[in-house]
């Protein structure tokens, strides 16, 4: 009887792992990211931009305070005194808050976007702790609300996406179906007209 139960268990969960997990896990990881963090990063990015479309290039002083708090404090809260490198860091950091979540939501360049987002979360955590004085917290304690606990849970679906890709319902998959070396669609698209 026990052998029958073990065999049944192995067949059921083996089939799920083989047939369902490759399609389901990346889609769920993307859905989890979008449901929990997309608007968080979108709104964080909006707090850093100036007015209108040009606001993506003319960032608010709050952008510098959020991303480079100690450097801004050192120059008397005058972001123009920070220089070109600081401006580039803040500009690209702000753009990343918009671009990387969009790429993950649609599943385009998913592995690279997930890797970029992991780096972003790590840098964000470092800035929160070192620049803003947030308490990192500890693992293996009885509290599940520490910064390290939360950010570890944010990073887990990103690691899954980095390793597995965007899944079958993603822009990556659509591009993969379209772009196959020697495919008729690719050959037709590459012919001069």
Burial class from Cβ neighbours inside 10 Å (0-12, 13-18, 19+) for residue 136 reads middle
User: Where does 2-68 have alpha helices with state H?
Assistant: 2-15, 21-33, 39-46, 61-67
Domain edges within the chain: 27-190
**In 3D, which of 82, 101, 96 has the Cα closest to residue 48?**
96
Strand blocks (E) in the chain: none
Instruction: Give the span between the Cα atoms of 163 and 169, in whole angstroms.
Output: 16
The model's pTM is: 0.84
Cβ atoms within 10 A of the Cβ of 59, count? 20
Kindly give the confidence (pLDDT) of every residue in the chain, 193 residues in length, as a single tens digit, with 9 standing for 90 and above: 889 899 999 999 998 888 888 889 999 999 999 999 999 999 999 999 988 888 888 898 889 999 999 999 999 999 989 999 999 999 999 999 999 999 999 999 999 999 999 999 999 999 999 999 998 888 888 888 888 999 999 999 999 999 999 999 999 999 988 877 655 554 454 455 5
Q: In whole angstroms, what separates CA 119 from the centre of its chain?
A: 9
Can you tell me the distance from the alpha carbon of 90 to that of 64, in angstroms, rounded to the nearest whole number?
6
For residue 180, give the DSSP letter.
-
Tell which residue, 45, 50, 84, has the closest CA to residue 67. 45
């Amino acid at each position: 009887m026990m052998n029958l139960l073990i065999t049944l268990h192995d067949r059921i969960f083996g089939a799920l792992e083989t047939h369902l997990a490759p399609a389901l896990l990346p889609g769920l990881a993307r859905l989890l990211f979008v449901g929990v963090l997309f608007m968080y990063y979108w709104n964080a990015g909006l707090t850093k931009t100036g007015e209108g479309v040009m606001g993506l290039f003319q960032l608010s002083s709050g952008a510098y305070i959020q991303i480079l708090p100690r450097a801004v404090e050192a120059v008397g809260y005058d972001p123009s005194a920070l220089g070109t490198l600081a401006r580039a860091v803040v500009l690209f950091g702000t753009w990343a808050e918009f671009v990387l979540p969009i790429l993950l939501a649609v599943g385009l360049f998913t592995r690279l976007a997930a890797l970029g987002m992991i780096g972003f979360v790590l840098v964000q955590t470092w800035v929160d702790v070192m620049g803003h004085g947030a308490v990192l917290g500890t693992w293996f304690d009885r509290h599940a609300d520490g910064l390290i606990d939360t950010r570890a849970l944010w990073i887990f679906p990103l690691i899954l996406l980095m390793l597995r890709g965007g899944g079958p319902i993603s822009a990556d998959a659509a591009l993969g179906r379209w772009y196959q070396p020697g495919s008729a669609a690719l050959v037709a698209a590459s012919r001069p007209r």
